[in-house]
């Protein structure tokens, strides 16, 4: 892999939008899409999760279940493939960003058709679409994050005249509470994934926990620190503080592997169910975590004795 693949083009203007794309990855678009779909399915299957759909039931949701999440994930395979393919034949970052916007809007329509109009994975489509393109440009985890962050900083011209884009729950929450949401997370290079989810996931693995427990630790670390717009939409700042405090209590008690940690988790889960609170933003970032983790495993050189 090359050391950098985003170079300023000749001429003037914003260096971000003028950046040239030099693709060096050897990963095929369909392989990248498979990583994205697998990550979405793995997040859905993880059980238990506080307030989220899992194998136990619908969580705090009345309009979706595990089967629907599986169908939704599979419906996005084509969009992720297109995002990765577009990265291979786009001349510049701005050109690729425009194409990703179109692919994303079409992908969202396909998702809504598959779910009967239920928004299951809009945030995940945004994040994993950018990262699929990033993985196609660079191939390695760090490079994919860098490219995705650059692309996320480029406005989509089509949205400037689309009033419906500013009417989503996430957009309303961002305006009301001043949170960055999914857009800001991507623009900043997924800091909650890098600073919280990855350390928790890797620490749990080093401690010998099974993979499901390690992934739950990663999810709880996200819930504890993310200003989750899904929770804010449903319950406001007080609900967000309560959910974050609940997740922190589980983590401080040693996670669900300890009796006290399981007690705190049960309390958090019950609160989410009783108050219909769903940390869906954290769930989306767990999918991002699992995608990047799988990408890193696939592209890292093998260890030598």
Q: What is the pLDDT of residues 202-224, one digit of tens each?
A: 999 999 999 999 999 999 999 99
Q: How many angstroms separate the CA atoms of 210 and 257, rounded? A: 10
> pTM for the full model?
0.89
Question: How far, CA to CA in Å, does 195 sit from each of 151, 192, 225, 289?
Answer: 21, 5, 10, 11
Beta pairing partners, 92: 20
> pLDDT by residue (tens digit) across 269-302?
999 999 999 999 999 999 999 999 999 998 876 6
The helices-and-strands tally (H runs, E runs) of the chain is 14, 2
Domain ranges of the chain: 6-299
Q: Which two tokens stand for residue 196?
A: 């919280």
CA 8 to chain centre: 28
Q: How many angstroms separate the CA atoms of 272 and 155, rounded? A: 35
Q: What angle do CA 270, 272, 278 make, to 5 degrees?
A: 150
Give yes or no for residue 78 having a pLDDT over 50: yes
- Residue in this structure with the two tokens 């995002």, named with its chain if needed: 83
> pLDDT by residue (tens digit) across 154-204?
998 776 555 455 556 666 766 776 677 889 999 999 999 999 999 999 999
> At a CB cut-off of 8 Å and minimum separation 6, what does 94 contact?
17, 18, 154
């Amino acid at each position: 892999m090359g050391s950098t693949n985003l170079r300023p083009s000749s001429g003037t203007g914003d260096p971000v939008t003028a950046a040239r794309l030099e693709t060096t990855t050897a990963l095929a678009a369909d392989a990248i899409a498979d990583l994205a779909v697998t990550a979405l399915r793995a997040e859905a299957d993880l059980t238990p999760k506080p307030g989220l759909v899992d194998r136990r039931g619908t969580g705090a949701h009345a309009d979706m279940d595990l089967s629907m999440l599986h169908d939704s994930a599979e419906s996005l395979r084509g969009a992720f493939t297109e995002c990765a393919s577009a990265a291979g034949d786009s001349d510049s970052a701005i050109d690729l960003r425009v194409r990703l916007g179109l692919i994303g809007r079409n992908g969202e329509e396909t998702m809504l058709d598959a779910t009967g109009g239920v928004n299951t994975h809009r945030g995940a489509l945004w994040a994993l679409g950018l990262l699929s393109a990033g993985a196609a440009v660079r191939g390695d985890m760090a490079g994919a994050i860098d490219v995705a962050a650059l692309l996320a900083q480029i406005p989509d011209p089509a949205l400037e005249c689309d009033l419906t884009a500013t009417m989503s729950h996430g957009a309303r929450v961002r305006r009301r509470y001043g949170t960055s949401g999914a857009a800001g997370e991507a623009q900043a290079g997924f800091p909650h994934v890098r600073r919280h989810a990855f350390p928790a996931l890797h620490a749990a693995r080093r401690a010998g926990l099974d993979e499901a427990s390690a992934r739950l630790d990663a999810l709880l670390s996200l819930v504890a620190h993310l200003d989750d717009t899904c929770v804010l939409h449903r319950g406001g700042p007080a609900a967000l503080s309560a959910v974050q405090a609940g997740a922190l209590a589980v983590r401080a008690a040693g996670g669900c592997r300890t009796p006290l940690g399981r007690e705190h988790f049960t309390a958090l889960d019950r609160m989410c169910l009783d108050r219909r609170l769903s940390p869906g933003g954290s769930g989306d970032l767990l999918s991002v975590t699992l995608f990047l983790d799988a990408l890193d495993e696939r592209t890292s050189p093998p260890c030598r004795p």
